[in-house]
Amino acid sequence: MSEKKKSELIAQIWFQHSYIFVFILIFIVYAVTSNGLTWGGVMNIFRHSAVIGIIALGMGLICLTGEIDLSVGSMLALVGGFSVVIYNITGNILVTLLFAIAGGAICGFINGVLVGGVEMPAFIVTLATMLIYRSIAQYVCQHIPKDLCGGGSSVYRMDTKIASYQTFYQLGNGKIASIPYVGIVLLIMTLLFIYISTSTKFGKKIYAIGSNQKGAVLAGINVSLMKIIVFVIAGVLVGIGAFLWIAMNASCDPATSGKNYEMYAISAVVLGGISMSGGKGKMLGVLFGIMSYTIIDKIIVALKMDSLINDAIKGTILILVILIQIAGPKLKSKLNK
């Protein structure tokens, strides 16, 4: 094999699986800085990646169509807070889950109709709903009877006197064979969306829209409907994430819960190799992307760095990854000459 072909092969492997190499590099740094790895520490990473990872899967689908959703963090606060109220009223875990899924779907539908149906810019629409959803969550928490939000004045709290409380809390914090339940949910959802994106007509349509929207229209794909469905799916995933959030924390603060999650989800998508311009990338990359982002947090803690510099480091890494995404195709074209 010639040197040129070797270079092309190495470049191709890197471009297709860069998210794995980035994860391995970050994991090695974590292993060194944490003075040794433990199984419990690794599973803790898995646990902390669960909620934002599930939300990032929905963001991945949206980005594959060439759109974006800035409202997912506020959506989590709204759906999570209202789900706490439903739980305090019914005491039923299944009803709470179904409500969270329905609530997320409704919020996603609103975004989807405005973006896909009315054809408003996704950035503007979801920036507006980001403000709306969190504002509603905070307003309602201040104005409903306090027994409905667990007696909290500004936080939705689950009523610990409900018979099913311990079961619900164990769902968010329990383990099976030392693997967190919430981590298993993340893994199942990832496998599901890998299948949807690679092995179904629906997945192929998503890639087609992101790659060439005009071409997708000419091919007979209902782009508006597809975008609405994608935003609804993303909303459902936020609903599942909100359900797990309240199971893990037994509360939901409308002011801080899910804060900056839209940025973390987008970062996970980018670190996972999905192009922000749409049509390129793999859903598997989202799992590696969010775990990479979680490990970065652990590294910062292990190095005892000032927490105020946390987001600056994450932002710098995000810029570097995007630069690699932009430079990659140019480098590949040069190698092919």
Q: What is the DSSP letter of 307?
A: G
Q: Is residue 4 part of a domain?
A: no
Residues 72 and 234: beta-carbon distance below 8 Å:
yes
Report the percent of the chain where pLDDT is more than 90. 56
What is the per-residue pLDDT across 92-108, written as a single tens digit (0 to 9) for each? Answer: 999 999 999 999 999 99
Cα separation, 33 vs 51, whole angstroms: 25
Q: Is residue 1 part of a domain?
A: no
What three-state secondary structure class fits 36? Answer: coil
Please give the structure tokens belonging to residue 104: 């997320």
- pLDDT attached to residue 329: 57
Q: What is the DSSP letter of 148?
A: G
Q: Is residue 293 part of a domain?
A: yes
Can you give the CATH number for the domain in which 180 is found? 1.10.3470
Query: What angle separates helix 181-199 from helix 223-249, to the nearest 10 degrees?
Result: 170
pLDDT category of residue 276 using cuts at 50, 70 and 90: confident
- C-alpha of 19 from chain center: 16
Average pLDDT over residues 8-28: 70
Q: Is residue 7 part of a domain?
A: no
pLDDT of 3 > 70? The answer is no
Residues 154 and 257: beta-carbon distance below 8 Å:
no
- pLDDT attached to residue 126: 96
Cα separation, 105 vs 330, whole angstroms: 39
pLDDT of 150 > 90? The answer is no
pLDDT category of residue 152 using cuts at 50, 70 and 90: low
Cα separation, 195 vs 91, whole angstroms: 35
Please give the structure tokens belonging to residue 10: 């190495």
Under the phi-then-psi rule, with left for phi > 0, alpha for psi from -120 to 50, and beta for the rest, what region is 89?
alpha
Domain count, the chain: 1
27-31, 102-106, 241-245: which range is least confident on average?
27-31
pLDDT of 13 > 70? The answer is no
pLDDT category of residue 233 using cuts at 50, 70 and 90: very high
H/E stretch holding 180 reads: strand 179-180
Please give the structure tokens belonging to residue 66: 């060439």
pLDDT category of residue 281 using cuts at 50, 70 and 90: confident
- pLDDT attached to residue 18: 74
Q: Is residue 12 part of a domain?
A: no
- pLDDT attached to residue 242: 96
Q: Is residue 149 part of a domain?
A: yes
Cα separation, 199 vs 100, whole angstroms: 28
Q: Is residue 221 part of a domain?
A: yes
Domain that holds residue 88: 21-29+38-332
What three-state secondary structure class fits 43? Answer: helix
**What predicted TM-score, i.e. pTM, was given to this entire model?**
0.90
Residue with tokens 């459902």: 236
Q: Is residue 337 part of a domain?
A: no
Q: Which residues of 130-154 are buried (b: 16+ CB within 10 A; e: fewer)?
A: bebbbebbbebbeeeeeebbbeeee
33-47, 240-254, 258-272, 275-289: which range is least confident on average?
33-47
